[in-house]
């Protein structure tokens, strides 16, 4: 089968994303390390450092998957704080919950199955929201951003870590070759699933670039919005505040 990603209807996209993450869940962490040469750990570390999260705060790790950010936030907020790992996909949540529990993280983490487009939390609830490599997979991104804005406390911040547009043309070319030709092969070898990794490459190419995403955040109400390119713009971290 081929996803024909560019032409699928909206409801089909959600179904396809569900299939992809049910399929990759068990091998997700291994694949992340292989495909990014471990660099995703640095991108995530940077995100935590920009979060300003302190003891006692309430954090939402949206599309949190296998919980890399949740684990770090759990230590930062301490016993008096709370981290909610929310993800739409039950397989990813299951792998995340098991991983975190096995590493002794219990007490201040909650696991919630939820769609980013319609978050099941009260208004003005979180001090910080992160969505790492998640927004790209959401069908209605404006709706999701508005939902995040609603559940953030005034003074709270949103951090979006996502693939973006490489700033230099040669880097962009090398990266395209890598993601369209090499990624699906690693996917085939390691996870016996080249289609899911072809989707990954497609979804990265389709995702809004730095300035477009910044504008989308401002359109739903975020202020003081900035972004920081990482690894030459292969990834960008966007930040915005609700005042």
Q: How far apart, in whole angstroms, are the C-alpha atoms of residue 141 and residue 203?
A: 13
Q: How many residues bind ligand SAM (CB under 6 A)?
A: 19
* Interface pick for ligand SAM out of 65, 156, 166, 184 (rule CB under 6 A): 65
* Interface pick for ligand SAM out of 3, 133, 175, 197 (rule CB under 6 A): 133
Does 68 participate in binding ligand SAM (rule CB under 6 A)?
yes
Q: How far apart, in whole angstroms, are the C-alpha atoms of residue 74 and residue 77?
A: 6
Does 134 participate in binding ligand SAM (rule CB under 6 A)?
yes
* Interface pick for ligand SAM out of 108, 115, 179, 196 (rule CB under 6 A): 115
Q: How far apart, in whole angstroms, are the C-alpha atoms of residue 144 and residue 75?
A: 27
Does 164 participate in binding ligand SAM (rule CB under 6 A)?
no
Does 88 participate in binding ligand SAM (rule CB under 6 A)?
yes
Please, which residue, 88 or 213, has the CB nearer to ligand SAM? 88
Which positions touch ligand SAM (CB under 6 A)? 17, 21, 63-66, 68, 87-89, 92, 115-117, 132-134, 137-138
């Amino acid at each position: 089968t081929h996803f024909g990603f560019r032409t699928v209807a909206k409801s089909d996209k959600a179904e396809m994303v569900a299939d992809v993450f049910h399929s990759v869940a068990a091998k997700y962490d291994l694949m992340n390390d292989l495909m990014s040469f471990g660099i995703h750990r640095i991108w995530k570390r940077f995100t935590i450092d920009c979060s300003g999260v302190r003891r006692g705060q309430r954090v939402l790790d949206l599309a949190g998957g296998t919980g890399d950010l949740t684990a770090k936030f759990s230590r930062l907020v301490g016993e008096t704080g709370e981290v909610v790992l929310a993800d739409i996909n039950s397989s990813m949540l299951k792998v995340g919950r098991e991983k975190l529990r096995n590493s002794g993280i219990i007490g201040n983490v909650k696991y919630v199955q939820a769609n980013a487009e319609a978050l099941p939390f009260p208004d003005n609830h979180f001090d910080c929201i992160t969505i790492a490599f998640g927004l790209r997979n959401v069908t209605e991104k404006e709706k999701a951003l508005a939902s995040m804005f609603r559940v953030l406390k005034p003074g709270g911040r949103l951090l979006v870590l996502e693939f973006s547009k490489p700033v230099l043309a040669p880097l962009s070319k090398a990266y395209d070759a890598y993601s369209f030709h090499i990624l699906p092969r690693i996917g085939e070898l390691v996870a016996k699933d080249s289609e899911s990794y072809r989707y990954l490459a497609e979804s990265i190419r389709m995702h809004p670039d730095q300035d477009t995403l910044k504008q989308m955040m401002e359109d739903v109400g975020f202020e003081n919005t900035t972004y920081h390119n990482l690894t030459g713009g292969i990834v960008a971290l966007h930040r915005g505040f609700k005042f």
